[in-house]
Chains A and B, each alone.
Chain A
Amino acid sequence: MILNQFLILAAVLFCIGVYGVLARRNGVLVLMSVELMLNAVNINLIAFSAYLRETAGEVFALFVITIAAAEVGVGLAIVLLIYRNLHSPDLDHVEQLKG
């Protein structure tokens, strides 16, 4: 297996995630796109860990997975708060700080 096939798969997933973050308006779906991007990063870490025969990459992937779980917990709580205050999960409605 070539190292690049994993890296390019990760790059494609990352770019699809970027598209989702930019084009989605529902807060839950934006968070899902962020998860896609974090998964792409993990694939990179594991691929390099296999290429270099180093455990460090896998430890970092473990930490990234952990932090992604915490991020989703807080992010969804914020979306719930937005939903409760504005009666819609759409991030377009969050504009009270706009000057």
Chain B
Amino acid sequence: MIVQNIFFWVLALAMVLGAIGVVRSQNVVHAALYLVVVMAGAAAQYILLAAEFVAWVQVIIYIGAVIILFLFGIMLTRAPMGGDTKLDNDQRWPAAVVSVFLAGVLGALLIDAFGKKEIVISGAKGEQLLQVGKAGHLADSIFTAYVVPFEVVSILLLAALVGAVVIARRD
């Protein structure tokens, strides 16, 4: 129990620092690498929560594919000559106020609503939790209750692919 909590706090610290790096870094490539830290931390949190399959999907899709897309986007939108221009606009302080306010509201709401509710990870309930995250269980759920969303996702992906090809093609 205590070991899991130590891991949680170490990972949470790394994720928050990485996230601040994403929004504050003045180098686009460094921002993408900080995003890798946040996503790997999220995958580790999923493993702590016994969501094994989703954790590895996170690694495959986010770290393996989405970051690649981001790096391609960075390479394609970089000014060929000269260094980076400024990456931030001039509403940094209003943005900081908005996000701190939002964090306060959300934090107060969450503490009020969920207090000290605990995720049980020991004993028989822990074993039950371990079964929830298995790939087979997810397949049972996807191919019985969520077949229609599953097919809709394929149409969404098709639309995204066609749209991106139309937009990105050089004519």
The interface of chain A, by Cβ under 8 A from chain B, is 1-9, 11-20, 22-29, 31-33, 35-36, 39, 42-43, 46-47, 49-51, 53-56, 58-59, 61-63, 65-74, 76-81, 83, 87-90, 92
Contact A51 B119 (CB under 8 A): yes
Question: Which secondary structure dominates where chain A touches chain B?
Answer: helix
Which chain A residues border B118 with CB–CB below 8 Å? 1-3
Q: How large is the interface on B (under 10, 10 to 19, 20 to 34, 35 or more residues)?
A: 35 or more
Contact B54 A46 (CB under 8 A): yes
Contact B106 A15 (CB under 8 A): yes
Which chain A residues border B77 with CB–CB below 8 Å? 26-28, 79-80, 83, 89
Contact B8 A19 (CB under 8 A): no
The interface of chain B, by Cβ under 8 A from chain A, is 1, 4-5, 8, 12, 15-16, 19-20, 22-23, 28, 31-32, 35, 38-39, 42, 45-46, 48-51, 53-54, 57-58, 61-62, 65-66, 69-70, 72-74, 76-77, 79, 85-89, 91-92, 94-96, 98-100, 102-103, 106-107, 110-111, 114-119, 121, 125, 128-129, 132-133, 137-138, 140-142, 145-146, 149, 153, 156-157, 159-161, 163-164, 167-168
Interface centre among A25, A59, A90 (most CB of B within 10 A): A59
Which chain A residues border B132 with CB–CB below 8 Å? 49-50, 53-55, 58
Contact A68 B106 (CB under 8 A): no
